[in-house]
Amino acid sequence: MAIVEINIIPLGTKTPSVSKYVGRALKALRQEKNIKYELTSMGTTLEGDLDELLRIVKKMHESTFGDDIKRVVTTVRIDDRRDQPSSTSSKTGSALRELGY
């Protein structure tokens, strides 16, 4: 199980707002049945099998293109831990514990 964070930036959007185009990627993500994800203000975090996650990353990236979008910059951070189970919730929990909560 890996955790992946994906951030998608469409270029050449005429206006500074890009949520319309990023929405295409999120809709592609929502079609996936067996994947756990979280929206943050800076991207989306996904949790699951790494091959499966990379397939979804590719699909989200592709979905952002269209007649109006000819360039997309996608950043993916993979956090892959194999000594013990890891998850988005266990990672956030560890951070909170360090803060004394």
> Which of 34, 67, 83, 85 is in the footprint of a second copy by CB under 8 A?
83
Q: Give buried/exposed letters for 63-97 (b at 16+ CB in 10 A, else e).
A: bbeeeebeebebebeeeeeeeeebebeeeeeeeee
> Which of 34, 67, 85, 97 is in the footprint of a second copy by CB under 8 A?
97
- Supply 83's token pair: 């000594």
List interacting residues with a second copy (CB under 8 A): 3, 5, 7, 9, 11-20, 22-23, 26-27, 30, 38-43, 45, 47, 50-51, 54, 57-58, 61, 65, 70-83, 87-89, 91-92, 94-99
